[in-house]
Structure 1
Amino acid sequence: MPKNAKAYIVGAYEHPTRNAVGKSLGQLHAEVALGALADAGLTIQDVDGYFCAGDVAGWESPGIGPLSVVEYLGLKLRHLDTSETWGSAYINHVEHAVQAIAAGKCRVALITQAGRPRAEKFSPEASHLLQAQTTAESQFELPYGPVVTNVYGMCAMRHMYEHGTTTDQLAWIKVAASHHAQHNPNAMLPRVVTVEDVLNSPIVASPLHRLDCCVISDGGGALVIAHPDVAKELKRPLIKPIGSGFTVKHLNGGYFDILASGGVQTGAEAFAQAQVTPSDIQYASLYDSFTITVLIQLENLGFCAPGAGGRFVADGGLISGVGKLAVNTDGGGLCNNHPGNRGGMTKMIEAIRQLRNEAHPEVQVPNCSLALAHGTGGQLGARHGSATIILEREA
């Protein structure tokens, strides 16, 4: 993505609900779509490109996935993209939308995400096991009982073994998220916690405690990306993607580094395209399914050296206005929202708030003009999609 923008992000909306009892999956997609379009100053009739992932076909949703949602929304399309890479999909979709607009496939692109696992009382562990039973690798892995919590626990334990990282340092990531969440009226966990609170919460998968884990929430969000000719007529802040990267990291037949996520590649690609460095980034939205997820991404993206993540996050290192780098100023998946067990959309939305100077005043980065969002879809320590995007506010 060159710096002379091919498209701009003109609309963003995060659904306020965290428990969608009484709302269908289709209704959530419709509400976030209309919210983002209203934010942009556009209508559903303006949309000619639609981007979505597998969340359009939830457990209670009939029909044929994206085609049914297109009909439900009443979209008149020239372009459809249903790329599925789980939590990284919505960051990857922004790159796809820019490419589609540049190629003349559409002029106004809509990206939606929605989910209601909390209302359905659906366990991520049960979901993982159900899906794993039908995959090519299941016969080789299921006998060992891998589930999302113990795979991330294994990553944390390895980081401690190799680099001397401590549970106190991991806890600081949750503490930072809670300091931000206290200013978010929609956050699921708005109470400020201490390192001691995290360490005193029950062990889930050693060394991870309950408060090292993200919330399970309903809701979702949406983005609108528009051609420059459209965007400049809307009188909205002009947010342009200037660098991006995407890859799939997998186990490579057992020859892999458990602490090297796809972010090693996607971060390098995004920074090279944007012609900036990690030290130039003023705000970062980092996927936070667990505290260890954030620590590994900080290292993999180049914000600190491998093994230095624990020292980087300690003592408020991620708290806006206090630390070295403001991270997840909405409270992130650890405290605010992880809709449908997919956090990429909310990472984009808070980055856009920061660039627009629309974050809460207590967490707003002054004069924020350069932000990064990174998403992991799948699991660190196993197969996952990885997407990084760098955004700039155009003066």
Structure 2
Amino acid sequence: MSIRGAAFIAGAYEHPRRKIPDRSVAQIHAEVAVGALADAGLSLGDVDGYFTVEPHGLGAITLAEYLGLNVSYIDSTLTGGSSYLVHVGHAAAAIAAGKCNVALITLGGHARPAAHMRFPSRAAGTPHGAFEEVYGVTTVNNYALAARRHMYEFGTTSEQLAEIKVAASHHAQFNPNALLRDKVSVEEVLDSPMVADPLHRLDCCVMTDGGGALVVVSPAVAKTLDRTCVKVLGQGEAPKHTMNGRPDLTYTGAVWSGPRAFAEAGVTPADVDYASIYDSFTITVLETIEDLGFCEKGKGGDFVRDGGLISPTGRLPFNTDGGGLCNNHPVNQGGMTKVIEAVRQLRGEAAPEVQVPDCRIALAHGSGGRISSRMGSSTLILGREDA
């Protein structure tokens, strides 16, 4: 069963704050839920499907109770940073199957500074924990391994990776809520402290409080709303494993999730006007662009050079809110905000300075886990109502 045209995103809301010490996690979920539903012209009483990965208590069940939701469908799939793109696809499938008509998807929480450090408590009891975590693996050095290997295989340079941060900073200056709004140059990225060779501090994403929410509805509900809705055209998801200790560090799970999403949507990379790409690190973006077919494998460095990612004139306008590199990365799961900015672009509601003219097809992509070991990818293709 295809989900093409089976559901629409009617509401999208991003929490405006990046530091929220005066709110509990549940309160953040509630604020973004109400915001997205208001954006759609709906209320909590209209929701009959709920999606979240909040880990506290009984997760989605606990939050559904907190929000006062009376739902017939619930999903708490966790695939790291790609979770919320997976949720959009699952919500569309549930709607197509008649399981629900108004699906609410929420993300909320506080920053987790330990994400770039070791987290043995999270790995305890896992099949890989005793073989990897005890040797000091961290998130940033895991991604640094991928960057170094890509450089070795294809001649990619630190200057090319820095171009990705430069593009993100160019866009962030027009976002009043972005954590980092100052434009930076390639030289400034290279002059920032080395965190894990070859990744500098400015190659790494920010860590923030925050959250966001989406409302996915059936075509019948969409017709009743006084709101521009965005059509779900296709979605793909895929894990990438360690291949029994012989992982290829030069690609991500996007090599599988991307083609599945494009095939379902009936479009190609050449049809994409705007892309929201998960940017935990600059190398994440570079490899994902290649894996999604926007350029040949190994040619990502050339693709991003000379403003290739800057909106509206670049080859592939990306992350026009500043992305995880400059805007926000709530709970270290930035997939939600990738979908939200794609919705803004298709509605013509992005900042005027970075709005893609006549944006008709947008891609959002999320990455979860660690790029040099096990990870999960999800690709989402969205279009305007008439797509």
Contact 1:9 1:224 in 2 (8 A): yes
Q: Aligned runs of 1:289-328 on 2, under 5 Å? A: 289-328=280-319
Alignment partner of 1:57 out of 51, 55, 58: 55
Moved more, 241-250 or 208-217: 241-250
Per the alignment, residue 129 of structure 2 pairs with 138
Cα distance in structure 1, aligned partners of 2:219 and 2:323: 30
The structural deviation recorded for 1:130 is 2.6
Counterpart of 1:346 in 2: which secondary structure? helix
Which one of 233, 251, 262 corresponds to residue 271 of structure 1? 262
Q: How does 1:41-56 map to 2 (within 5 A)?
A: 41-53=41-53, 56=54
Partner of 1:381, secondary structure, is: coil
Q: Percent identity?
A: 58
Which secondary structure state, in structure 2, belongs to the residue aligned with residue 254 of structure 1?
A: coil
Q: Give the unaligned 5+ runs of structure 2.
A: none
Matched, 1:172 2:166: no
1:59-78 to structure 2, matched below 5 A, reads 63-78=57-72
Cα–Cα, structure 1 residues 4 and 299, in superposed 2: closer, same or farther, change >3 Å? closer
Q: Which amino acid aligns with 2:278?
A: Y
Structure 2 distance, partners of 1:305, 1:5, is 30
Contact 1:128-1:148 at 8 Å conserved across structures: no
Match 2:180 to one of 165, 189, 210: 189
Per-residue deviation at 1:129?
A: 3.2
Superposed displacement of residue 98, structure 1: 0.7
Once residues 71 and 145 of structure 2 are traced to their aligned partners in structure 1, the CA distance between those partners, rounded to angstroms, is 44
Q: How does 1:285-364 map to 2 (within 5 A)?
A: 285-364=276-355
Q: Paired residue for 2:94?
A: 100
Q: Distance in 2 between matches of 1:4 and 1:199?
A: 43
Residue identity matched to 1:154:
L
Residues 177 and 334, structure 1, Cα contact 8 Å, conserved in 2:
yes
**Aligned partners of 1:389, 1:130: CA distance in 2, in Å?**
32
SS in 1 for 2:161: helix
Query: What is the CA–CA distance in structure 2 between the aligned matches of 1:126 and 1:192, rounded to whole Å?
Result: 27
Is contact 1:129–1:147 with CA below 8 Å preserved after alignment?
no
SS, match of residue 364 in structure 2: strand
Tell me how far apart the structure 2 counterparts of residues 125 and 329 of structure 1 sit (CA, whole Å): 25
Aligned pair count reads 386
Mapped pair 1:116 → 2:110: yes
Q: 2:154 aligns with which of 131, 153, 163?
A: 163
Deviations 1:239-283 (A, max 9, x none): 111111111111021233211211000101111111211111000
> Bigger CA drift: 239-248 or 196-205?
239-248
CA distance in 2, matches of 1:383, 1:4: 29
Q: Distance in 2 between matches of 1:389 and 1:231?
A: 19
Name the structure 1 match of 2:26. Answer: 26
Gaps of at least 5 residues in structure 1 are none
1:18 is matched by which residue type in structure 2? R
Give the letter aligned to residue 207 of structure 1. P
**Post-superposition offset of 1:127:** 6.0
Q: 1:183 to 1:263 in 2, by over 3 A?
A: same
C-alpha separation in 2, matches of 1:22 and 1:143 = 36
1:124 deviates by 1.2
TM (normalized to structure 1)? 0.95
Name the amino acid aligned to 1:333.
G
Give deviations 1:11-69, integer Å, cap 9, x for gaps.
0000011001110000000000000000000000000000111xx235xxxx3222211
TM-score (norm 2): 0.97
What code does the residue aligned with 1:178 have? S
1:216-255 matches, cutoff 5 A: 216-255=207-246
Q: Secondary structure at the match of 2:227?
A: coil
Say if 1:251 and 1:382, in contact at 8 Å, map to a contact too.
yes
2:201 counterpart of 1:210: yes
Indicate which of 356, 369, 375 corresponds to 2:366. Answer: 375
CA-atom RMSD in angstroms:
1.3
**1:4, distance to aligned residue in structure 2 (A):** 5.7
Partner of 2:16: 16
Equivalent residues of 1:373, 1:390 under 8 A apart: yes
Distance in 2, matches of 1:296 and 1:239, equals 27
Which one-letter code corresponds to 2:222 in the other structure?
A
AA aligned opposite 1:317: G
Structure 2: distance between partners of 1:126 and 1:132: 13
**8 Å CA contact retained: 2:102, 2:218:** yes
How far the C-alpha of 1:9 sits from its partner, in A, is 0.5
Quote the offset at 1:322 in angstroms: 2.8
Q: Distance in 2 between matches of 1:8 and 1:15?
A: 21
* Compared CA separation, residues 142 and 123, structure 1 to 2 (3 A): closer
Q: Output the CA distance in 2 between the equivalents of 1:238 and 1:65.
A: 29
